Amino acid sequence: MSQHSPTVTAVSRSPVHGFSKSADATIRLLAGLGVEGDAHCGATVKHRSRVAVDPTQPNLRQVHLIHAELFDELAAKGFRVLPGEMGENVTTRGLDILALPRGTRLHLGPAAVIEVTGLRNPCSQIDGFQGGLLSAVLDRDAAGNLVRKAGIMAVVLEGGEVRADDPIRVVLPPEPHVRLERV
């Protein structure tokens, strides 16, 4: 975590399947479903590639979060990315979301609670948005393992409204912690 208290910096949604989402003043999270009015809202998987494989699998990707620090890193590499443009519903600042273990609960604002399920696996669509962006959101660690930096996914445990400037409270799961894998 950084020196700042973790906060929501932006919220976004889109009623249609597409790459980017529109920034909004407020989003409403619905328990067990996701973001009200978003194309990925539902108890079963909504991502088209996953629906094609098995439309009955549970939706572990109800809410997509990206850390604003990634936008700062991308800007230093010459990219201009604004909140929602990489398809996230919630943009955060002051929290190392990629280091959170699976099962971490994030309390967003006064009522909403989400549980982290895994990493977003960026696909080639990202290069359609801005050429070269896919390689910019992928990295390698010291051991040569692939590092996916395009955010995390979560499910909604308790619904509620979420808006920019809402605080984020982190509740880690019991140990042993399990590293995030792509979902």
All structural domains of the chain with their residue ranges = 7-171
- Count the Cβ atoms, other than its own, within 10 Å of residue 43: 14
Query: How many residues are listed for the chain in this entry?
Result: 183
Q: CATH homologous superfamily of domain 7-171?
A: PK beta-barrel domain-like (2.40.33.20)
**In this structure, which amino acid lies at residue 86?**
M
**In this structure, which amino acid lies at residue 79?**
F
Q: List the chain pLDDT tens, one digit each, 183 residues.
A: 445 799 999 999 999 988 899 999 999 999 999 999 999 999 998 887 888 888 899 999 999 999 999 999 999 999 999 999 999 999 999 999 999 999 999 999 999 999 999 999 888 889 999 999 999 999 999 999 999 999 999 999 999 999 999 999 999 999 999 999 999
Q: What is the pTM of this model?
A: 0.95
Token reading at 87: 């398809």
DSSP string covering 46-93: -SHHHHHH-TTSB-S-SEEEEEHHHHHHHHHTT----TTTTS-SEEEE
